[in-house]
Amino acid sequence: MMPLYIILGVAVVIGLWLILTYNGLIRSKNQVDESYSDIDVQLKRRYDLIPNLVETVKGYMTHEQNTLIKLTEARSAAMKVHDNKEATLAEREAAENMLSGTLKSLFAVTENYPDLKASQNFMELQRELTDTENKIQAARRFYNGNVRDFNIKIQVFPTNLIASALKFVKYDFFKADEGEKTNVKVQF
């Protein structure tokens, strides 16, 4: 009778461990998915702010239409990739990095327009976009932290046995675009 209790006890312990491991993996996976959707929320906010910025800037910048066209095209491309459920993380990163670069060039060009820089609408939109860019970066760092934790969880023993049996796969990290890693050239 005693061996039966020992076998039942071991089976219960193993069953509880399997349940706790599975629930931990699901919890971590959902945290990664939630943090990715936080990035989506901030990107949507940026997409909504850009047309207002373009309209505000149009009246002041008659010679810089090419910059505005590039910004509009970059926004459209980023939204297209963002809305494509089949797009890879690398494709999304590339589109978003192109949009970020175009925004930076727009803000650099506006330095030549003192009236624009003095415009309250422009200043508020620039502040909102800067705040949104900061929130996007924070959301990406949060996502990368959750990805790191999840990837570690599915790679360490003995959790990796359950994760591989249930086909949990690694998530990719957000990475900086190669152009963003170079030093900014400042001339006085």
* CA atoms within a 13 Å half-sphere pointing along the CA-CB vector of 166: 16
* Full-model pTM: 0.72
Q: How far apart are CA 117 and CA 168, in angstroms?
A: 50
Give tens-digit pLDDT for 11-44.
Answer: 999 999 999 999 999 999 999 999 999 998 898 8
Ranges of each domain in the chain: 2-171
For residue 182, which phi and psi values (nearest 5 degrees)? -80, 155
Q: Using 50, 70 and 90 to split pLDDT, how confident is the model at 179? A: low
Looking at the domain 2-171, which fold is it?
Answer: de novo design (two linked rop proteins) (1.20.1440)
Tokens standing for 121? 């609408």
Check pLDDT > 50 for residue 4: yes
Q: Using 50, 70 and 90 to split pLDDT, how confident is the model at 123? A: confident
**Rounded mean pLDDT of the chain?**
84
Q: Which residue has the higher pLDDT, 116 or 167?
A: 167
Residue 175: the pLDDT is 78
Give tens-digit pLDDT for 56-104.
Answer: 777 666 656 777 788 888 888 888 988 888 888 888 888 888 888 888 8
